[in-house]
Chains A and B, each alone.
Chain A
Amino acid sequence: MANVTININGADYSGDVEPRLLLTHFIRDTAELTGTHTGCDTTSCGACTVLIDGVPIKSCTMFAVQANGKKIQTVEGLANGAALHPIQEAFREKHGLQCGFCTPGMMLTSVAFLKKNPNPTEEEIRWAISGNLCRCTGYVNIVEAIQYAGEKMRESA
């Protein structure tokens, strides 16, 4: 067992974990933050995407021990109190989801992407989210939501 402390959305979560515990399970079961979804469990779908020190990674493909001492942001860390993050507002406004399973990962990927590229083309957006699969929407509204969030974030920057 290894004792790990991981900062998630500004709060420290500690636990004695087996090295084989995946980060996605630490987030969901130890920290009880179930907004992060474990989808394919094979590094394909991106539903489990979280930001580690600001960089999107698939939390099903990293051990919790590797995140010891690191800062993680999950979907629960996007809103500021009752105020939605622009990406959340955009997904609601543009109907960027149907079942919602891919949405947390999709939004975290988008937030990191919009920081690097605040005014992306449609092609750049589609490229950026190519590691996050959605089986409902056909992506059209997701792309529009990310464009909308980009506008909002540029206005407030």
Chain B
Amino acid sequence: MIPAQFQYAAPASIADALALLQSNPDAKILSGGQSLIPLMKFRLAQPAMVVDINNIADLDYIREADGWLKIGALTRESALEDSTLVREKYPLLYETTLNVADPIVRNRATLAGNLAHADPANDHPATMLAYRAQVVATGAGGNRTIAIDDFFTGLFSTALASDEILTEVQIPAPKTNSGGAYMKLERKVGDFATAGVAVQLNLDAAGSIEQIGIAFTNVGLQAIRGARSEAALRGTSGNAVAVEAAAKFAQEDCEPNADLRGSVEYKRNLVRVLTTRAISSALAKARGA
């Protein structure tokens, strides 16, 4: 399949990339390209210009600073997968990364691109909601920080302006006694989720759940925060009754469509089951089990 024609530019600096975006409102940013290029081949996307940011230095990093894990726009999924820091301290992010596409795709695909593309089937949006992450958007006026709850605005839509670049993802460094888990059902490796559930929580000194984030993948027009599920668990010990209540809310609050992956009823029940399992796994990690 051959994409429609486009102009190609590979600027060496963010300033040059921003200038190109400003003079070409129809431009698309190419980072890993593992979603954009397939879309262009199907001609679902036909940008007049592609601004390839792969030649911009200093956008590929994973580092902790100021209480955040900071991940650059060009950091590949495979770098997250290979990072000892991510594996040991950010299990939710690690498990999510392992579930993205397949190992070859992950050598190109980026976390920032996964978020900016805002496909409801992408795995990282729910995970970032569970972490209460934020993203840095760089435009002509400098940087602005966007809370993840304000970032996704609908199907394939985000709060990024057409002349902004998502340059960094920031995840709060976990408190002590934290745990997280990502549970996804896929028909085969590389398939989009039938449904996915992300959970991140921490326990206070008494062992009660202090902060909790729960979000769902591919059961709505965008990743959905399970606010009622979170409330059902916050302040509890994570006992079976509270977990069951949270899972029931998840079942009710997701908004799946029927497709080849299953009926609405099936997907709602799946979200209930995955929520139960993700909470159990996150709790076990937080308790050091």
Chain B residues whose C-beta falls within 8 Å of the C-beta of A19 in the assembled complex: 5-8, 50
A65-B8, A66-B52 given; A43·B3 CB < 8 A: no
**Count, chain B residues at interface, CB 8 A:** 29
Nearest CB of chain B from residue A107's CB, rounded to whole Å: 13
Residues of chain B in range 189-218 having any CB-CB distance to chain A below 8 Å: 189-190
Determine whether the beta carbon of B105 is less than 8 Å from that of A43. Answer: yes
Nearest-neighbor residue (CB-CB) of A113 within chain B: B103
Q: Does A130 contact B (CB under 8 A)?
A: yes
Determine whether the beta carbon of A56 is less than 8 Å from that of B1. Answer: no
Chain A residues whose C-beta falls within 8 Å of the C-beta of B5 in the assembled complex: 18-20
B27-68 vs A, Cβ < 8 Å mask (1 yes, 0 no): 000100110011011000000001010100000000000000
Nearest-neighbor residue (CB-CB) of B78 within chain A: A55
**B-side interface mostly:** loop
Chain A residues whose C-beta falls within 8 Å of the C-beta of B10 in the assembled complex: 65-66
Chain A: interface size category: 20 to 34
Chain A residues whose C-beta falls within 8 Å of the C-beta of B54 in the assembled complex: 66
How far apart sit A61 and B8, CA to CA, in the bound complex (Å)? 15
Chain B residues whose C-beta falls within 8 Å of the C-beta of A46 in the assembled complex: 102, 104
Q: Does B107 contact A (CB under 8 A)?
A: yes
Q: Does A42 contact B (CB under 8 A)?
A: yes
Chain A residues whose C-beta falls within 8 Å of the C-beta of B260 in the assembled complex: none
Nearest CB of chain A from residue B103's CB, rounded to whole Å: 5
Could you list some 25 contacts between A and B, CB below 8 A?
A19-B5, A19-B7, A20-B4, A20-B6, A43-B105, A49-B104, A55-B78, A57-B104, A57-B108, A58-B105, A58-B108, A61-B33, A61-B105, A62-B37, A63-B8, A63-B33, A63-B50, A65-B8, A65-B10, A66-B30, A109-B103, A128-B103, A130-B103, A131-B104, A132-B104
- A residues in contact (CB < 8 Å) with B: 2, 18-20, 22, 41-44, 46, 49, 55-58, 61-63, 65-66, 109, 127-128, 130-132
Q: A58-B104, A61-B105 are in contact. List 18 more A-B contacts (CB 8 A).
A: A18-B5, A20-B5, A20-B40, A22-B2, A43-B105, A46-B104, A56-B104, A61-B37, A62-B33, A63-B37, A65-B10, A66-B30, A127-B103, A131-B101, A131-B102, A131-B104, A131-B190, A132-B104
